[in-house]
C-alpha cells in the first residue's frame, strides 16, 4: 500500500558516522510542534537539547520546512543547523533547491549526522531507508563531478545531492554545502564541518506523497497567498531581474560598496554592471531558476559564449556574489566565472569575495610583503589574480592558507592593523550592506546569532520607497514615517518583528521573499497554513511567539558560550569610520528624510536639493538601539542575556537549570 506522509508527526533520523549506527524515532506531540513549528525551530531545539553549547564535534542537523513538499509557493527551503567552526557559536544555514523536498519525502523530517567517519562516506536516504556508503571515489571531486558520479552510480537522474567540494574537504572556514550544483547552504563553515566528518555528500530520493490534515482549508489559504504573490509588484521585479536590483536602487539603498567599503559608490560604469538588469540586457542570462515550489524563479542561469571565460556556465550570480566580487573592480564576466568556481569548489561567495577584498586593501595599504603574495599582482581590478586566489583558497595553497581561515584570523596573522578593514565581526564576513546607512540592518547584524549577515532578519522594508514597505513598517510601528533607514528610532521594533517572522519562515520552509523583503505572506497566513497542514490550531500571535522562542533559544546557546552585550557589534570600519552619502531629493526614499539635522545622523541639503547624510555605527548609536531591543525581548540590559523569567514566559523552562549551571542569568521582572 502506498503510504502517505502527514505533517503532524516528526520523523527524526540520527546517523552516527563513527559507529555506523542509524537511529529512527517519531515524535507525535502537538504541543511540541506548536512550540517549535518545524525546520529551523526543531533543529535548534535538538542542537541545544541533545548536544548543548559545549559539544566538541558538532553534529549537522538538516531540517526541511514544515510546508516543504506542499504546493505553498516558495515553501521548499531547508535549514542546516550546527555549531560553527568559524564563529564557535550557534549557526543556521538555509538553502533552497530541490533537496529539502526529496529529503522529507524519503521519510526524514530531521536528519542529524553526528560523529566522524574514518574514511570518506556519503549518506543515502530513500524510501524510509537510510544508509552510509563509501565515498572514496568521490573525495577530491568537485561539486559538478560529484553530482554526475552519484547519478551514474545510483542509476537515477532524479536523486538530489547535497555535497561539499574540495574547499570543504580542505576544511576552508567558509566552505559551503552545495545543493545540486548552484544552490548553497553557504555560511558559517558548514562545508568545513562536513569535511572534518569525512562526509562528502548526502543523497536523497523521496517519493512519499505529502498529506495535509485539512485539505479544504489548506486549499483555500494556498489560493489566497498564491493570489497575493501574483499581485505583488516586487515579485515581478525579482522574477525578471533577480536579487540584484537596478543601479538606482543599489545606490538608493546604499547597499553597494566599492573596494571593500572604502568608497561610497562604485563608479557609474561599474555600477551598471552590478545590476540584475545588466545580466538580462547583456545576454548573459539564459534562463531563470526556481527553487522547489517557488514559481518566482529569482535564481539566474548564465553562460558565457566568448572571450577569456568562454564555456563558463553557472547558476547565479546573486546580489551578494555580484556585490562582493564586482566591487573588486573586475568585469561582470569575471564575476560569473567566480560564481561558477565558488559553486563547483564549494565556497561561500560572500566570505570568499570579502576575504579577497581585504587582501587587496591590505596590499593597497602596503601591509602585504612581496614574499607573501605568491607573485600575484594584488591590485584592484586584476581579475586573473581573483580567479587564481579562489582556487588557492579552496586548496589552501600558498597565500590561500591564510585566506582560507577568513578575515578575522587572517588579519590576526598579517597584523599591520589590517583588522580595521576586515569586514567581519565574530568571525563572519558581513553581507554587502553598508549598515551606516541602514540602522535597522546595523542593529539586526549586531544581534544576529550568526554574525553580521542579512539572512536572519532582512528588514529591507526600513528603506521605504514603495507602498509595500510602508505598509509593513506601519503594521509594525504604527506609522509609515518610520520607513526611513537613517534613524535609530523604532529600529528595535522593526528588527524584532522581522526576526520573529524570519525564524518562523525558516521553520516552515518559506523563503524570505515571502515574508520579508517581499510581503505577500502575513503572520495570519502562516498561522492558517500551520493549522491546516497539521490540524493543530495556532494563532498569529502564537506564530510570532514561536519565532521569539527560537531566537531566544539561539541567544541562550551563545550566551552559555560566553556571549555578552559587548559582542553585539559590527565590523571595525562601520563602528569607527564616518561616511557620507548623497541622495537626490526626488528619490522615493527621500520622502521621510528631515530637512536638516545637526545631531545624528547629520543631514543637510544643497541648494539643488541633493541630500547629504553623514553617518557611523558607533558604539553609542548601537547601544541606544540595543537597549531598546533587549528591553523588547525582556533581556537583561547590562549583559544582553535572557532573564530567567523571560525563558519561563516563552516555555523554555527545561533549559533553565543547565543554563544556570553555566551563567548567572538574572531573575528579571523588575526592569
Partner 1 sequence: MKKLIVNSEECVGCHLCELACSFKHYGVFSEELSSIRIKSEESLAINNTFVCRQCEDAPCIQVCPTGAITKDESTGAVKIDSQKCIMCKSCISVCPYGAIFEIKVPQTSRVELLTCDLCGGDPECVKVCYRGAIEYKDVEEKVRGE
Question: Interface residues with partner 1 (CB under 8 A)?
Answer: 1-2, 4, 69-71, 73, 98, 105, 144, 147, 157-158, 180-182, 207-211, 215, 219, 226, 229-230, 235, 239, 286-297, 299, 301, 313, 315
Q: State which residue, 301 or 572, has the beta carbon closest to partner 1.
A: 301
Instruction: Give the shortest CB-289-to-partner 1 separation in angstroms.
Output: 5
In terms of DSSP H, where are the helices of 155-241?
A: 166-169, 190-196, 215-230, 233-241
- Report which DSSP code applies to 327: G
- Please give the torsion angle defined by the CA atoms of residues 50, 52, 54 and 55, in that order, rounded to the nearest 10 degrees: 30
- Short-list 480, 513, 484, 516, CA closest to 498: 516
Gap between the Cα atoms of 619 and 218, Å rounded: 47
DSSP E strand stretches across 441-599: 579-583
- Please give the torsion angle defined by the CA atoms of residues 91, 94, 98 and 104, in that order, rounded to the nearest 10 degrees: 50
Q: State which residue, 238 or 330, has the beta carbon closest to partner 1.
A: 238
Q: State which residue, 4 or 19, has the beta carbon closest to partner 1.
A: 4
Gap between the Cα atoms of 230 and 241, Å rounded: 16
Q: Given the DSSP bridges, would you call strands 285-289 and 160-163 parallel, antiparallel or unpaired?
A: unpaired
Gap between the Cα atoms of 53 and 327, Å rounded: 37
Gap between the Cα atoms of 400 and 172, Å rounded: 9
Q: State which residue, 71 or 479, has the beta carbon closest to partner 1.
A: 71
Gap between the Cα atoms of 123 and 273, Å rounded: 41
Instruction: Give the shortest CB-25-to-partner 1 separation in angstroms.
Output: 24
Instruction: Give the shortest CB-298-to-partner 1 separation in angstroms.
Output: 9
Gap between the Cα atoms of 7 and 68, Å rounded: 10
Give residue 16's Cα distance to chain centre.
Answer: 27
Give residue 349's Cα distance to chain centre.
Answer: 12
Q: State which residue, 98 or 325, has the beta carbon closest to partner 1.
A: 98
Q: Given the DSSP bridges, would you call strands 299-303 and 160-163 parallel, antiparallel or unpaired?
A: unpaired
Q: State which residue, 205 or 633, has the beta carbon closest to partner 1.
A: 205
Instruction: Give the shortest CB-432-to-partner 1 separation in angstroms.
Output: 25
Taking the chain, what is the end-to-end CA distance rounded to the nearest angstrom?
Answer: 59
Q: State which residue, 181 or 521, has the beta carbon closest to partner 1.
A: 181
Gap between the Cα atoms of 456 and 451, Å rounded: 9
Instruction: Give the shortest CB-179-to-partner 1 separation in angstroms.
Output: 9
Instruction: Give the shortest CB-210-to-partner 1 separation in angstroms.
Output: 4
**Helix or strand (DSSP H, E) at 590:** none
Instruction: Give the shortest CB-2-to-partner 1 separation in angstroms.
Output: 4
Instruction: Give the shortest CB-144-to-partner 1 separation in angstroms.
Output: 7
Residues whose CB is less than 8 angstroms from the CB of residue 418 and which lie 6 or more positions away in sequence, other chains included? 358, 362, 365, 367, 410, 411
Q: State which residue, 99 or 630, has the beta carbon closest to partner 1.
A: 99
Q: State which residue, 271 or 285, has the beta carbon closest to partner 1.
A: 285
- Short-list 663, 628, 636, CA closest to 557: 663
What is the Cβ-side half-sphere exposure of residue 475, based on CA atoms within 13 angstroms? Answer: 18
Pair 574, 435: CB distance under 8 Å? yes
Q: State which residue, 23 or 236, has the beta carbon closest to partner 1.
A: 236
Q: Given the DSSP bridges, would you call strands 5-6 and 210-211 parallel, antiparallel or unpaired?
A: parallel
Q: State which residue, 53 or 73, has the beta carbon closest to partner 1.
A: 73
Instruction: Give the shortest CB-183-to-partner 1 separation in angstroms.
Output: 9
Instruction: Give the shortest CB-74-to-partner 1 separation in angstroms.
Output: 9
Instruction: Give the shortest CB-72-to-partner 1 separation in angstroms.
Output: 9
Gap between the Cα atoms of 635 and 500, Å rounded: 16
Q: Phi, psi at residue 611, to the nearest 5°?
A: -95, 130
Q: State which residue, 214 or 539, has the beta carbon closest to partner 1.
A: 214
SS3 406: coil
Q: State which residue, 84 or 94, has the beta carbon closest to partner 1.
A: 94
Instruction: Give the shortest CB-336-to-partner 1 separation in angstroms.
Output: 14
Gap between the Cα atoms of 404 and 413, Å rounded: 12
Q: Compute how many other C-beta atoms are within 10 angstroms of the C-beta atom of residue 604.
A: 13
Give residue 256's Cα distance to chain centre.
Answer: 18
Instruction: Give the shortest CB-301-to-partner 1 separation in angstroms.
Output: 4
Gap between the Cα atoms of 52 and 28, Å rounded: 23
Q: State which residue, 157 or 371, has the beta carbon closest to partner 1.
A: 157
Instruction: Give the shortest CB-422-to-partner 1 separation in angstroms.
Output: 35
- Short-list 482, 461, 455, 473, CA closest to 594: 482
CA angle 110, 113, 119 (to 5 degrees): 150
Instruction: Give the shortest CB-512-to-partner 1 separation in angstroms.
Output: 17
Amino acid at each position: 500500500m502506498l503510504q502517505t506522509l502527514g505533517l503532524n508527526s516528526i520523523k527524526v533520523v540520527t546517523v552516527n558516522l563513527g559507529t555506523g549506527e542509524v537511529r529512527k524515532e517519531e515524535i507525535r506531540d502537538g504541543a511540541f510542534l506548536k512550540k517549535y513549528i518545524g525546520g529551523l525551530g526543531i533543529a535548534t531545539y535538538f542542537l541545544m537539547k541533545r548536544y548543548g553549547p559545549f559539544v566538541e564535534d558538532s553534529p549537522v542537523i538538516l531540517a526541511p520546512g514544515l510546508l516543504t513538499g506542499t504546493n505553498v509557493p516558495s515553501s521548499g527551503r531547508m535549514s542546516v543547523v550546527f555549531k560553527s567552526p568559524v564563529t564557535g557559536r550557534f549557526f543556521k544555514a538555509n538553502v533552497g533547491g530541490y533537496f529539502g523536498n526529496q529529503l522529507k519525502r524519503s521519510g526524514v523530517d530531521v536528519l542529524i549526522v553526528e560523529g566522524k567517519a574514518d574514511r570518506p562516506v556519503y549518506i543515502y536516504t530513500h524510501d524510509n531507508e537510510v544508509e552510509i556508503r563509501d565515498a572514496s571515489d568521490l573525495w577530491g571531486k568537485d561539486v559538478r563531478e560529484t553530482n554526475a558520479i552519484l547519478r551514474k552510480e545510483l542509476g537515477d537522474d532524479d536523486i538530489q545531492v547535497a555535497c561539499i567540494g574540495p574547499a570543504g574537504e580542505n576544511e576552508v572556514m567558509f566552505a559551503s554545502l552545495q545543493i545540486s550544483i548552484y544552490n548553497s547552504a553557504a555560511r558559517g563553515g558548514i562545508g568545513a564541518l562536513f569535511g572534518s566528518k569525512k562526509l562528502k555528500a548526502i543523497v536523497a530520493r523521496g517519493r512519499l506523497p505529502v498529506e495535509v490534515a485539512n485539505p479544504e482549508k489548506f486549499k483555500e489559504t494556498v489560493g489566497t497567498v498564491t493570489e497575493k504573490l501574483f499581485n505583488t509588484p516586487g515579485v515581478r521585479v525579482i522574477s525578471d531581474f533577480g536579487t540584484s536590483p537596478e543601479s538606482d536602487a543599489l545606490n538608493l539603498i546604499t547597499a553597494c560598496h566599492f573596494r571593500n567599503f572604502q568608497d561610497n559608490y562604485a563608479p557609474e560604469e561599474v555600477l551598471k554592471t552590478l545590476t540584475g538588469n545588466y545580466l538580462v540586457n547583456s545576454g548573459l542570462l539564459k534562463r531563470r531558476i526556481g527553487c522547489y515550489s517557488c514559481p518566482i524563479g529569482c535564481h539566474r542561469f548564465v553562460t558565457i559564449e566568448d572571450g577569456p571565460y568562454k564555456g563558463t556556465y553557472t547558476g547565479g550570480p546573486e546580489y551578494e556574489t555580484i556585490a562582493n566580487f564586482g566591487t573588486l573592480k573586475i568585469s561582470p564576466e569575471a564575476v560569473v566565472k567566480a560564481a561558477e568556481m565558488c559553486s563547483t569548489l564549494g565556497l561561500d561567495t560572500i566570505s570568499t569575495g570579502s576575504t579577497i577584498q581585504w587582501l587587496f586593501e591590505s596590499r593597497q595599504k602596503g601591509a602585504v610583503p612581496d614574499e607573501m603574495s605568491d607573485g600575484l599582482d594584488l591590485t584592484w581590478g586584476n581579475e586573473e589574480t581573483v580567479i587564481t586566489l579562489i582556487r588557492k583558497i579552496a586548496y589552501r595553497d600558498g597565500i590561500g592558507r591564510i585566506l582560507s581561515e577568513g578575515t578575522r584570523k587572517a588579519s590576526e596573522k598579517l597584523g599591520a592593523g589590517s583588522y580595521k578593514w576586515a569586514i567581519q565581526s565574530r568571525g563572519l564576513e558581513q553581507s554587502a550592506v553598508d549598515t551606516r546607512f541602514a540602522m535597522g540592518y546595523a542593529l539586526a547584524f549586531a544581534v544576529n546569532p550568526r554574525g553580521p549577515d542579512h539572512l536572519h532578519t532582512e528588514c529591507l522594508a526600513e528603506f521605504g520607497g514603495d507602498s509595500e514597505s510602508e505598509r509593513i513598517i506601519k503594521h509594525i510601528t504604527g506609522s509609515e514615517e518610520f520607513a526611513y533607514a537613517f534613524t535609530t528610532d523604532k529600529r528595535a521594533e522593526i528588527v524584532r518583528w522581522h526576526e520573529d517572522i524570519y525564524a518562523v519562515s525558516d521553520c516552515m520552509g518559506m523563503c524570505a521573499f515571502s515574508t520579508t523583503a517581499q510581503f505577500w505572506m502575513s503572520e495570519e497566513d502562516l498561522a492558517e497554513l500551520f493549522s491546516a497542514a497539521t490540524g493543530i490550531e495556532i494563532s498569529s500571535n502564537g506564530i510570532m511567539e514561536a519565532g521569539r522562542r527560537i531566537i531566544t533559544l539561539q541567544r541562550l546557546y551563545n550566551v552559555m558560550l560566553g556571549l555578552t552585550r559587548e559582542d553585539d557589534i559590527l565590523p571595525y570600519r562601520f563602528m569607527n569610520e564616518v561616511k557620507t552619502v548623497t541622495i537626490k531629493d526626488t528619490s522615493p526614499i527621500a520622502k521621510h528624510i528631515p530637512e536638516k539635522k545637526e545631531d545624528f545622523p547629520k543631514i543637510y541639503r544643497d541648494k539643488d536639493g541633493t541630500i547629504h547624510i553623514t553617518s557611523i555605527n558607533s558604539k553609542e548609536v548601537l547601544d541606544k538601539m540595543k537597549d531598546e531591543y533587549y528591553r523588547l525581548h525582556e533581556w537583561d540590559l547590562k549583559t544582553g542575556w535572557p532573564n530567567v523569567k523571560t525563558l519561563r514566559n516563552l516555555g523554555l523552562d527545561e533549559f533553565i537549570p543547565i543554563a544556570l549551571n553555566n551563567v548567572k542569568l538574572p531573575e528579571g521582572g523588575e526592569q
